[in-house]
Amino acid sequence: MSEESIQALGTVLDAAQRIVCFTGAGISTESGIPDFRSPGTGLWTKMKPIQFQDFVASDDTRQESWRRKFSGDKTIEQAQPNKGHLALARLVERGQCLGVITQNIDNLHQNSGIPDNKVIELHGNATYASCLECNTRYELADLEAQFVAINRIEPCKHCGGIIKTATISFGQAMPETEMLRAQEYTEQCDLMIVLGSSLTVFPAAGFPQYAKEIGASLAIVNREETPLDDIADVVVREQIGSTMALVVGLN
Ligand code: NAD
């Protein structure tokens, strides 16, 4: 069953010329970053997430959020790309894949060698921060040094705006440019490959469905069932790293 489905994935992949990969937390578990919905991990049950509105409204809440950030673990900052990320980078390098639409915030697609302009981050990025007003980028190491020194993060030195990690928080609007670019990728691709997503977080999960509806092939590589398995051309219920290394021909 698995061998057949992996072979089928290889066949659709070889026939495609404009692949778009759609990735979720599952592609990064082999790099040691837990996902949200695999049994037993439950990242966000450990601490109640801070809503965007509360972060913006209260300086105390902002400082609490920074305290969490700097006292929490550094799993994301220290993670390295795995075979799954590297296989996707190879597809992009070969010119067979337009790019990646990702729900991940871990920067591992960029670290695997895919150019920044080919990684569309729907939920932002946890490895740096930016000003909510003027978008100036701030490095976490510099902010951490400030937090250690004065026990708080000051407003943006350019415009006085609020500095926040570059992730999209609960209650925060989806990034417009990224949503538009993801739609363009979806309309251009002849094959969308979903890798490691439960396809339950919307609006992100709408892209694979849309790709299939407008004529692209749809392949899903995910350990567990997803709501789109029934409409997919190929479903592979295997580990992403070994599966993608095999079909892409990574040594
Ligand atoms: P999810 O946790 O809902 O689903 C992950 C899916 O991947 C699960 O169905 C699981 O069975 C599968 N999976 C896990 N490891 C796998 C592997 N090695 N091989 C094959 N399948 C595997 O993830 P989601 O759909 O991305 O939604 C979660 C949300 O959480 C996203 O919005 C994302 O922004 C955020 N998140 C990001 C990270 C990260 O950046 N690495 C980590 C946790 C959560």
Number of Cβ within 10 Å of residue 218's Cβ equals: 23
Residue closest by Cα to atom 17 of ligand 1: 239
C-beta of 31 in contact with ligand 1 (< 6 A)? no
Residue-level pLDDT at 37: 67
pTM of the model: 0.93
Tokens representing 142? 């510099």
Q: What are phi and psi of 66, to 5 degrees?
A: -70, -35
Cα distance between residue 123 and residue 31, in whole Å = 19
Tokens representing 87? 């296989």
Q: Which residues pair with 221 in a beta bridge?
A: 195, 236
- Please tell me the number of Cα atoms within 13 Å of 123 on its side-chain side: 19
Tokens representing 94? 């070969």
In which residue are the tokens 């509360």 written?
Answer: 54
Residue-level pLDDT at 35: 87
Residues designated as active site? 123
- Contact, 120 vs 181, CB < 8 A? yes
Residue-level pLDDT at 74: 87
Distance 27 CA to ligand 1 centre (A): 7
Ordered structural domains, the chain, with CATH: 1-34+81-123+174-251 (3.40.50.1220), 35-72+124-167 (3.30.1600.10)
Residue-level pLDDT at 47: 67
Q: Collapse the DSSP code of 18 into the 3-class scheme (helix H, G, I; strand E, B; otherwise coil) and give the result.
A: coil
Distance 104 CA to ligand 1 centre (A): 8
Residue-level pLDDT at 39: 58
Residue-level pLDDT at 73: 79
Residue-level pLDDT at 22: 98
Distance 41 CA to ligand 1 centre (A): 11
Residue-level pLDDT at 43: 55
Closest CA to 178 of 127, 110, 102, 109: 102
- The residues, ordered by sequence, that sit 6+ positions from 142 with a Cβ below 8 Å of its Cβ are none
Distance 219 CA to ligand 1 centre (A): 16
Tokens representing 54? 């509360």
- Contact, 30 vs 83, CB < 8 A? yes
Q: What are the average pLDDT values for consecutive 10-residue runs of the chain, which has 251 residues?
A: 90 98 97 78 64 97 95 89 98 98 97 98 96 97 97 98 96 96 98 97 94 98 97 98 97 74
C-beta of 26 in contact with ligand 1 (< 6 A)? yes
- The residues, ordered by sequence, that sit 6+ positions from 239 with a Cβ below 8 Å of its Cβ are 30, 223
C-beta of 223 in contact with ligand 1 (< 6 A)? yes
Residue-level pLDDT at 235: 98
Q: Collapse the DSSP code of 204 into the 3-class scheme (helix H, G, I; strand E, B; otherwise coil) and give the result.
A: coil
C-beta of 121 in contact with ligand 1 (< 6 A)? no
Helix axes 83-93, 240-248, angle to 10 degrees: 30
Task: For residue 76, give the ligand 1 atom closest to its CA.
Answer: 41
